[in-house]
Structure 1
């Protein structure tokens, strides 16, 4: 009499197949259309700090520096991970939409137990699937939301320890200039449009903004 062997390997494959389907859906939702020109306005190089030297008034120079840095801060690569709700965003410009699958921030910003961010987002970009990745992938706390805020409002938020993770301005600069998760914005993969300029240029603008008094643009 032939013995029937239980199909345990198939059962073990089911969670992986479900995750593969969910991550594939996320890629389909987030993929940007192919770029039709070598450089869009958003990708234009950031202005250098020295290019603002002609502005004699330090306060006005400070505001102008932040406006230039704001091209990065308000780019989809940053705002998508600083949502006002419990779900991150995907896409860019008018294509920006709620994240698919329906993930939520959870208590630590890394998802809920049933669907953690790391279920799809691994330690680095997945070239084969196009799913972006970083070892610390998560969304910003609710008090650090940038979605739907003006640049002036974001500026005031960045200076408020109650809404910036209790950071000093020096720590804000360190985060923006050297944090590797922030740095992902310039190498997002899968034809996603990167943040303008480079992280080094962005960090220099933020540093100069702080050194000129950290003044915010008019609302």
Structure 2
């Protein structure tokens, strides 16, 4: 039997990765099984989660200030709105003034008003726009900033929360987040199971 050199093994691993299945642009947990070191695998899993996190579907509702963004180009929300109490808008201009329980298509058919009940901004402590994967990872694990969530709570949020899930069903005129909520939840659990390690940058 022919002996495989390190170079040949590396080439085979690369070819396997290149041919590996993705789901709507998001790699699945199985694709990280070849990484032997738990910490390295955990970091790689979070970097894949970050593919979803850095999507406009997530970032638009995670501003670092009081004004949400909108659209794939992440322009300031129009009409002008502010965070308000609980991230649900200012009195007289609550998020629910325009955002109902479900997406509503424009009568022109060229877009839609997004909807989910509730519709609100993430807490300002969870502002992500302009932040690195390392910074966001540390935020997510910090109970003082993440709403006092445990890692198990975080998995539940990523895997089953309806407002998070809206990112994959955003309505006409918006690009869905990569992958599916199911895959995102599986990546989150695998990241937790391998130590919830964060990237260094």
Does the TM-score normalized on the shorter chain lie above 0.5? yes
- Give me the TM-score of the superposition, normalised by structure 1: 0.78
Q: Do residues 103 (structure 1) and 85 (structure 2) align?
A: no
4+ residue runs of structure 1 moved beyond 4 angstroms?
none
Residue 42 (structure 2) aligns with: 62
Residue 54 (structure 2) aligns with: 74
Residue 46 (structure 1) aligns with: 26
Give, in angstroms, the shift of residue 193 of structure 1.
0.3
47, 50, 65: which one aligns with 1:85: 65
Where does 1:127-166 land on structure 2 (aligned, <5 Å)?
127-128=105-106, 130-166=112-148
Give, in whole Å, the separation in 1 of the partners of 2:45 and 2:132. Answer: 16
Give, in angstroms, the shift of residue 44 of structure 1.
3.8
Gaps of 5+ in 1: 1-42
Q: Do residues 183 (structure 1) and 150 (structure 2) align?
A: no
Give, in angstroms, the shift of residue 218 of structure 1.
1.6
Q: Do residues 199 (structure 1) and 177 (structure 2) align?
A: no
Give, in angstroms, the shift of residue 111 of structure 1.
0.5
- Give me the TM-score of the superposition, normalised by structure 2: 0.85
**Larger Rg, first or second structure (1 or 2):** 1
Gaps of 5+ in 2: 1-22
Give, in angstroms, the shift of residue 191 of structure 1.
2.4
Per-residue CA deviations over 1:40-64 (Å, capped at 9, x if unaligned) read xxx8431111110100111000000
* Alpha-carbon RMSD: 1.1
Give, in angstroms, the shift of residue 170 of structure 1.
0.4
Give, in angstroms, the shift of residue 190 of structure 1.
1.4
Contact 2:81–2:93 (CA<8 Å) still a contact in 1? yes
Residue 10 (structure 2) aligns with: none
